[in-house]
Amino acid sequence: MSESALVWFKRDLRMADHAPLAEAAHFNAALALFIIEPAWLGSPECHPRHVAWLLECLAPLRTSLAQRGLPLLVRVGEATEVLMELRREFPFTHLFSHEETGTGWSYTRDKAVARWCQVQGVAWTEWPQTGVVRRLKDRRGWATLWQKRMDALPVPVPAGFRMPIDFKRACLSDLLPQLPTLRDLGQPLGTTALWNESTPLGLGTQQAGEDAAHEVLHSFLRERALGYRRHLSSPLDAELGCSRLSAHLAFGTLSMRTVHQATEAAIEATPNRELAYGLRGFAGRLRWHCHFMQKLEDEPSIEWRNFARTVDGLRPGDGTELQDADRERLAAWCEGRTGFPMVDACMRQLRATGWLNFRMRAMLVSFAAYHLWLHWREPGLFLARQFLDFEPGIHWSQMQMQSGTTGINTLRIYSPTKQALDQDPQGLYIRRWVPELGTRAYPQPIVDERSALAEAKRKLYEQRATPEARGEAGAIQQKHGSRRSGLPPSGVRARKAPAADLGQGSLF
Ligand SMILES: Cc1cc2nc3c(=O)[nH]c(=O)nc-3n(C[C@H](O)[C@H](O)[C@H](O)COP(=O)(O)OP(=O)(O)OC[C@H]3O[C@@H](n4cnc5c(N)ncnc54)[C@H](O)[C@@H]3O)c2cc1C
């Protein structure tokens, strides 16, 4: 059998800096595939807005690949079944893809594909596409590895691909039907809104695809990064003042290396010191992206389980059923009707646009975890569906960090009242998203802030002071802590969230 390659696109929907594509270009026959998997569509983190965005990314990618002679098949089905069926038509000997740090379903899928490849005698090669290191033994040296990967030369886009004429003809006729629509995929229509009319540069619209990703990157590097560090915290300024690259990184329309190198080049090139200052702050965030993803890679169970096992069972929903009252509080939070205007405004922005800045994400979670005393899993699933940029490693690590279940981080509790005063002193943001405020239609606060917080702190302090909790913290810090931050393992102090957002992650 002559050698032939199948490029399996996953969360890497681009031409540039794509090692599997470049490798396939050396083969006498190559084909590309994207599988829309029922396991993904049915997963509790998936929302029609993700599916819509995916389809919008696939369309231009398909055109770019076709221009270089590589047909991209888009099939719906379980991965091993799709691969099996395709192999009957196109007997590929090599399967090329990027590594994925995903949730349980994609991990299970990858194991099944590995087994299938072994049985079929297909050689499956996976390349890293971020700073996440597979089978990492220890966090020592991780930052150096990250730097080395990010500084390596990007992989050039192949000039063209080869394919036997017969197969090409067959591909172009029978095998390349139109992309499926949302309706074909059983996705409810009308729930995919990404539009935010208030954004003058149209960033609320979050354009999908590789070209759009480059435009967003360059508008940020050229001008929007000016004042980045000042603009991070307020939901009004952050809309344009943050890079807005997260969905592109999550779906891989840009590689992390491309963003890193373009940022370093922009810092080098600009004579504007304020712009350079903003860009350096941004460059640090890119490390965080991979630092947080590495935690899920190293410990996949953090998607379901507390980092600190000594907090197990502390809140309802953690090994126990939610009571009706908990469910009601959760529903009010999800629907943006808690009676706390800043919380409700943020939730409504998120639901309408699929994006929210870091500070306000953290405030929403802090409110669910401390004021409403809810375990992070259910709120985390809800937010995962809302975030267009859902990235499992960042998401679940952050959910736990903001809920105080990592066992090692300083407890960070955000007061929605203080956040409203600090970040929206004129009430512009709140009025935009909660127009009924001040009328009878707006609900009373669903909890008493002061007593809810006092009770939450008491329980957490008590738990953290136990010898078991203290004993566990060292092991968690050893496994997941950043060696770069220079931070000692955090103690049990509760801190109010800082006024400036630079300490947002307090890396652990
Ligand atoms: C509870 C919670 C859940 C989150 N879930 C996600 C998620 O699913 N996907 C996601 O991409 N980000 C997540 N974040 C991190 C952060 O809020 C977003 O990355 C950021 O708001 C995206 O907007 P941006 O691209 O304009 O960010 P910028 O401020 O421009 O940052 C640039 C990039 O750096 C990375 N980054 C920034 N902040 C962080 C951070 N704190 N931790 C890790 N990486 C960071 C992201 O890749 C981001 O795109 C979460 C934060 C919280 C508090």
Mean pLDDT over 362-388 rounds to 97
**Alpha carbons 302 and 298: distance in angstroms, whole number:** 9
CB 71 within 8 A of CB 78: no
What is the DSSP-derived secondary structure letter of residue 9?
Answer: E
Q: Please work out whether the CB of residue 364 comes within 6 Å of at least one atom of ligand 1.
A: no
Residues 6+ apart with CB under 8 A from 210: 13, 14, 15, 16, 57, 60, 61, 64, 253, 254
Higher pLDDT, 20 or 492: 20
User: Looking at ligand 1, which atom is closest to the CA of residue 399?
Assistant: 1
The closest residue, in CA terms, to atom 31 on ligand 1 is 285
Which helix (DSSP H) or strand (DSSP E) does residue 284 occupy? helix 273-298
CB 114 within 8 A of CB 124: yes
Residues 6+ apart with CB under 8 A from 158: 21, 22, 24, 25, 68
Crossing angle (nearest 10°) for helices 392-403 and 358-366? 50
Q: Please work out whether the CB of residue 50 comes within 6 Å of at least one atom of ligand 1.
A: no
CA 389–ligand 1 middle distance (angstroms): 8
CA 402–ligand 1 middle distance (angstroms): 13
Q: Please work out whether the CB of residue 291 comes within 6 Å of at least one atom of ligand 1.
A: no
**Alpha carbons 508 and 504: distance in angstroms, whole number:** 11
C-alpha dihedral (494, 497, 500, 502), degrees to nearest 10 = 60
Which helix (DSSP H) or strand (DSSP E) does residue 429 occupy? helix 428-433
With pLDDT > 70 as the criterion, what percentage of the chain qualifies? 88
CA 283–ligand 1 middle distance (angstroms): 13
Domain spanning 4-127 has what CATH number? 3.40.50.620
What the block records as the tokens of 288 is: 């965080």
What is the DSSP-derived secondary structure letter of residue 444?
Answer: P
pLDDT of residue 427: 96
| Cα angle: 105, vertex 109, 110; to 5 degrees | 120
**Alpha carbons 233 and 242: distance in angstroms, whole number:** 10
CA 187–ligand 1 middle distance (angstroms): 26
pLDDT of residue 419: 95
**Does residue 463 have a pLDDT over 90?**
no
CA 358–ligand 1 middle distance (angstroms): 6
For 489, the 3-state DSSP assignment is coil
**Alpha carbons 469 and 494: distance in angstroms, whole number:** 16
pLDDT of residue 169: 59
**Does residue 198 have a pLDDT over 70?**
no
Mean pLDDT over 293-319 rounds to 92
Ranges in the chain annotated CATH 3.40.50.620: 4-127
322 CB neighbour count, 10 Å cutoff: 17
CB 163 within 8 A of CB 170: no
Q: Which residues pair with 31 in a beta bridge?
A: 6
**Alpha carbons 446 and 408: distance in angstroms, whole number:** 30
pLDDT of residue 367: 97
CA 321–ligand 1 middle distance (angstroms): 30
CB 377 within 8 A of CB 88: no
**Does residue 457 have a pLDDT over 50?**
yes
**Alpha carbons 344 and 364: distance in angstroms, whole number:** 9
User: Looking at ligand 1, which atom is closest to the CA of residue 245?
Assistant: 25
Q: Please work out whether the CB of residue 244 comes within 6 Å of at least one atom of ligand 1.
A: yes
CA 78–ligand 1 middle distance (angstroms): 30
Q: Using alpha carbons, list the distances in angstroms from residue 7 to 18, 24, 217.
A: 10, 7, 26
Q: Please work out whether the CB of residue 394 comes within 6 Å of at least one atom of ligand 1.
A: yes
Q: Please work out whether the CB of residue 361 comes within 6 Å of at least one atom of ligand 1.
A: yes
CA proximity to 249, closest of 216, 202, 226: 216
**Does residue 96 have a pLDDT over 60?**
yes
pLDDT of residue 139: 85
pLDDT of residue 225: 96
Ranges in the chain annotated CATH 1.25.40.80: 203-298
Q: Please work out whether the CB of residue 295 comes within 6 Å of at least one atom of ligand 1.
A: no
What is the DSSP-derived secondary structure letter of residue 175?
Answer: I
Q: Please work out whether the CB of residue 405 comes within 6 Å of at least one atom of ligand 1.
A: no
**Alpha carbons 411 and 494: distance in angstroms, whole number:** 5
Give pTM, 2 decimals. 0.93
Q: Please work out whether the CB of residue 504 comes within 6 Å of at least one atom of ligand 1.
A: yes
**Alpha carbons 180 and 75: distance in angstroms, whole number:** 9
Report how far Cα 43 is from the mean position of its chain's Cα atoms.
15
pLDDT bracket for residue 501 (50, 70, 90): very low
Mean pLDDT over 484-496 rounds to 40
The overall average pLDDT reported for the chain is: 89
Taking domain 300-503, whether its CATH number is 1.10.579.10 is answered by yes
Residues 6+ apart with CB under 8 A from 111: none
pLDDT bracket for residue 167 (50, 70, 90): low
**Alpha carbons 352 and 219: distance in angstroms, whole number:** 24
Q: Which pLDDT tens digit goes with each residue over 412-443?
A: 899 999 999 999 999 999 999 999 998 999 99
Strand order in the sheet with 123-127: 72-76, 29-36, 4-9, 94-98, 123-127
Ranges in the chain annotated CATH 1.10.579.10: 300-503
Q: Please work out whether the CB of residue 362 comes within 6 Å of at least one atom of ligand 1.
A: yes
Crossing angle (nearest 10°) for helices 273-298 and 142-151? 120
User: Looking at ligand 1, which atom is closest to the CA of residue 285?
Assistant: 34
Q: Please work out whether the CB of residue 288 comes within 6 Å of at least one atom of ligand 1.
A: yes
pLDDT of residue 483: 61
Q: What are phi and psi of 380, to 5 degrees?
A: -65, -40
Of the listed ranges 162-171, 179-188, 346-355, 395-404, the one predicted with least confidence:
162-171
Which helix (DSSP H) or strand (DSSP E) does residue 181 occupy? none
Mean pLDDT over 194-221 rounds to 73
- Options 3.30.750.24, 2.40.50.140, 1.25.40.80, 3.90.1330.10; CATH for 203-298 is 1.25.40.80
